[in-house]
């Protein structure tokens, strides 16, 4: 999943600062300039932090501002395409939801900022997930996304609000063939 973050970061830098600046950042960080190297697919958190630090130094912008700008780009320009990617990749609504939650939490881990919040989720059994969000507004957004997902897949699920910060997602049990 981190390669997806790297692709988004590369695209954002090229779009906002130009190809030459990306080349300078990639070379100073040991990344492939045109295409990520095979080793970049296993990108450690420390290496990601170093990349953000290199970006901040080369662009002469504070690291926190870099993260805020990138996360804004992620949410407005890149994430809608990520959802499309996961919709095509997933065969069930549950796979899609888990993919989105995992991507969200990875982004929160490597780019902590005020715009995104980690979703604590737990798989209770094969048919039930619970998701806890730190604030009610974010939970409303999550529920809206989940309701949209429910229209994309043939397997169905229900969403029950447990409290202002958490929901239970119950997937219909499928007949085993």
Residue 172 sits in a domain whose CATH number is 3.30.1360
- pLDDT at 55 > cutoff 90: yes
Residue 125 and residue 76 share a domain: no
Query: Does residue 106 lie in a domain region?
Result: no
* Res 38 pLDDT > 70: no
High-pLDDT (> 90) share of the chain, %: 22
pLDDT in tens, 65-109: 998 898 888 878 887 787 787 778 888 888 888 888 888 888 888
Q: In the listed set 83, 101, 135, which residue is the last one of a domain according to the structure?
A: 83
In a 13 Å sphere around the CA of 129, the CA atoms on its Cβ side amount to 19
Boundary of a domain, candidates 33, 57, 83 = 83
What CATH number corresponds to the domain at position 47? 3.90.1520.10
Domain for residue 126, yes or no?
yes
What is the spatial distance between Cα 95 and Cα 92, in angstroms, rounded to a whole number? Answer: 5
In a domain, 98, yes or no: no
Q: How many domains does the chain have?
A: 2
More confident residue, 87 or 10: 10
pTM for this predicted structure: 0.71
Q: Which residues pair with 131 in a beta bridge?
A: 121, 167
Q: In this structure, are 75 and 129 located in the same domain?
A: no
At 177 the pLDDT is 43
The verdict on 121 and 163 lying in the same domain is yes
Is residue 72 domain-shared with residue 124, that is, in the same domain? Answer: no
| 166 and 121 co-located in one domain | yes
**pLDDT at position 142 over 70:** no
Domain assignment of residue 53, yes or no = yes
Which of 62, 83, 104 represents a domain boundary (last residue)? Answer: 83
Residues forming beta bridges with residue 158, ordered by sequence position: 170
Co-location of 79 and 24 in the same domain: yes
Residue 174 and residue 127 in one domain: yes
Phi, psi of 13 (to 5 degrees): -65, -45
CA distance 111 to 11: 16
28 against 39, higher pLDDT: 28
pLDDT at residue 152 above 60? yes
- Residue 108 domain flag: no
Half-sphere exposure of residue 35: CA atoms within 13 angstroms, side-chain side: 2
Would you place residue 40 in the very low, low, confident or very high pLDDT band (cuts 50, 70, 90)?
low
**Residue 101, domain member (yes or no):** no
Same domain flag for 67 and 6: yes
Instruction: Report the first-to-last Cα separation within the chain, whole angstroms.
Output: 32
Report the share of the chain in percent with pLDDT over 70.
84
Q: Which domain holds residue 72?
A: 2-83
Residue 107, pLDDT score: 84
Question: Looking at the domain assignment, is residue 162 inside a domain?
Answer: yes
Residues in the chain: 177
The closest alpha carbon to 82, from 26, 152, 1, 158, belongs to: 1
Q: Which of 133, 126, 138, 127 has its CA nearest to residue 162?
A: 133
């Amino acid at each position: 999943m981190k390669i997806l973050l790297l692709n988004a970061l590369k695209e954002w830098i090229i779009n906002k600062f130009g190809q030459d600046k990306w080349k300078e950042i990639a070379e100073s960080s040991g990344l492939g300039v045109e295409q990520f190297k095979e080793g970049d697919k296993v990108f450690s958190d420390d290496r990601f932090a170093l990349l953000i630090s290199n970006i901040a130094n080369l662009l002469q912008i504070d690291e926190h501002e870099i993260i805020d700008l990138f996360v804004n780009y992620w949410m407005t320009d890149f994430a809608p395409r990520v959802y499309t990617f996961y919709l095509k990749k997933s065969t069930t609504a549950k796979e899609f939801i888990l993919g989105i939650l995992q991507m969200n939490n990875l982004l929160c881990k490597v780019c902590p900022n005020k715009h995104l919040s980690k979703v604590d989720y737990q798989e209770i059994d094969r048919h039930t997930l619970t998701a806890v969000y730190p604030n009610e507004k974010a939970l409303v957004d999550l529920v809206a996304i989940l309701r949209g997902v429910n229209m994309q897949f043939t397997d169905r699920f229900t969403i029950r609000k447990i409290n202002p910060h958490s929901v239970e997602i119950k997937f219909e049990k499928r007949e085993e063939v």
